[in-house]
Amino acid sequence: NECTFIAVKPDGVQRKLVGEIVRRFERRGFKLVGLKLVRVSEDLLREHYWDLRTKTFFSGLITYMSSGPIVAMVWQGLDVVKTARKMLGETNPADSLPGTIRGDFCVEVGRNVIHGSDSVESAQKEISLWFRQNELQCWDPSSSRWVYN
């Protein structure tokens, strides 16, 4: 079953959006399989955003992401990678529709409150970068048969 890596960035934690964000994923019908509040090393963040290493905003991005605790999560479900990206909105909050997380809670690309994996492959990489296997729970939500037919 497909999983994605979602992180409430330091601004999202400071702005007390954790509950709201978890709520949206729960209510959509996705299954929480991992969750922790962490401060990670700049090395881990550089690896996480490796594809952006040549961008002018890269060092600012690493500073932003290491400026406070992050809530790291793994969510599982049908097409969760693609659906989560839709729930997040566009990279730039100015382009994000109301109803999306970025479209409802932020205004600037450099403080866009949440991360979501952009493909199934990057989700797998990110989950193994941020979580140990024993931090992920296999469980059977009693609501499954009301979410899936």
Catalytic residues: 115
Contact status, residue 68 vs residue 10, Cβ threshold 8 Å = yes
Binding residues among 109-128 for Mg ion as defined by CB under 5 A: 118
**Is residue 76 a contact point for ligand GTP (CB under 6 A)?**
no
Which tokens sit at 2? Answer: 């497909």
Total residues contacting Mg ion by CB under 5 A comes to 1
Taking CB under 6 A as the binding criterion, the range among 18-26, 35-43, 110-118, 137-145 that sits at the site for ligand GTP is 110-118
| Residue selected from 17, 61, 80, 101 as contacting ligand GTP according to rule CB under 6 A | 61
DSSP three-state, residue 76: strand
Q: What burial letters (b/e) apply to 61-91, b meaning 16+ CB within 10 Å?
A: bbebbeeebbbbbbbbbeebbbbbbebbbee
Total residues contacting ligand GTP by CB under 6 A comes to 11
| Residue selected from 63, 91, 143, 144 as contacting ligand GTP according to rule CB under 6 A | 91
